[in-house]
């Protein structure tokens, strides 16, 4: 194999790993922010579920991103009684 090919392959793999790691860390940070809001709200006596727009307003995330993170998270579940509402497990 040519040395340039090997270097290019290593660079591509390193960049791909960096992107995957960056996206995972970003997701975990955003998931933590959402979970903290949901748990704090529950501890203060607020309803156990919150609409994605309400979570977005308090977490500085877009409502679409809140919905995406909540749908992917294993710690947050959809509220079956209200559409686009989420609650912490």
Query: What is the chain written as a DSSP string?
Result: --HHHHHHHHHHHHHHHHHHHHHHHHHHHHHHHHHHHHHHHHHTT--S-EEHHHHHHHHTS-HHHHHHHHHH-SSEEE-TTSTTEEEE-
Q: Which domains does the chain have, with CATH numbers?
A: 3-88 (1.10.10)
Predicted model pTM: 0.84
pLDDT recorded at residue 79 = 85
pLDDT recorded at residue 80 = 84
pLDDT recorded at residue 4 = 93
pLDDT recorded at residue 19 = 98
Interval 16-75: pLDDT, tens? 999 999 999 999 999 999 999 999 988 888 887 899 999 999 999 999 999 999 999 999
């Amino acid at each position: 194999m040519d040395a340039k090919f090997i270097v290019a392959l290593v660079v591509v793999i390193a960049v791909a790993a960096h992107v995957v790691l960056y996206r995972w860390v970003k997701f975990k940070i955003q998931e933590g922010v959402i979970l903290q809001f949901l748990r704090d709200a529950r501890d203060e006596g607020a309803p156990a579920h919150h609409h994605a727009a309400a979570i977005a307003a308090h977490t500085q995330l877009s409502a679409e991103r809140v919905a995406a993170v909540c749908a992917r998270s294993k710690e947050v579940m959809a509220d079956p009684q209200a559409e686009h509402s989420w609650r912490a497990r």
